[in-house]
Amino acid sequence: MNKAKNDVLQGTLGLLVLKTLARGPMHGYGITVHIQRVSKDALRVEEGSLYPALHRMEQEGWISAEWGTSENNRRARYYRLTAKGRKQLAEEKKSWERLTEAVGSLLEGE
């Protein structure tokens, strides 16, 4: 099966999630909606991958989670960026920039 083109690129999900959470605590659904909206539907988080990723990031200590109440009074798990996560975000951002820069210069060079 050919994956939808606008699925989030392998390996960038973490960066996107971290970046999203940098704005403030949010629940899983909110994260998908946010990524989709900000990218103007260009990026779509595959929901089946989001939660394993969140779980892993939590274990790494980049984000922390707690149960809270959503805007319409539903119990939801809210994720928050930790200091470590902030560092991780900076790192991933840097390496992403390096990557795009490298790819960009390669493309321009052609």
Q: Is 74 in the site for other proteins (CB under 8 A)?
A: yes
- Cα separation of 74 and 72, whole Å? 6
Q: Is 38 in the site for other proteins (CB under 8 A)?
A: no
Q: Is 80 in the site for other proteins (CB under 8 A)?
A: no
Q: Is 76 in the site for other proteins (CB under 8 A)?
A: yes
- Using CB under 8 A, pick the residue from 6, 23, 41, 60 that binds other proteins: 60
Looking at the Cβ atoms of 38 and 76, the one nearer to other proteins is 76
Q: Which stretch binds other proteins (CB under 8 A): 13-21, 51-59, 99-107?
A: 51-59
Buried b (16+ CB within 10 A) or exposed e, 45-78: beeeebeebbeebbeeebbebeeeeeeeeeebeb
- Cα separation of 43 and 37, whole Å? 9
- Using CB under 8 A, pick the residue from 7, 24, 51, 94 that binds other proteins: 51
Residues that bind other proteins (CB under 8 A): 27-29, 33, 46-49, 51-52, 55-56, 59-61, 70, 72, 74-77, 87
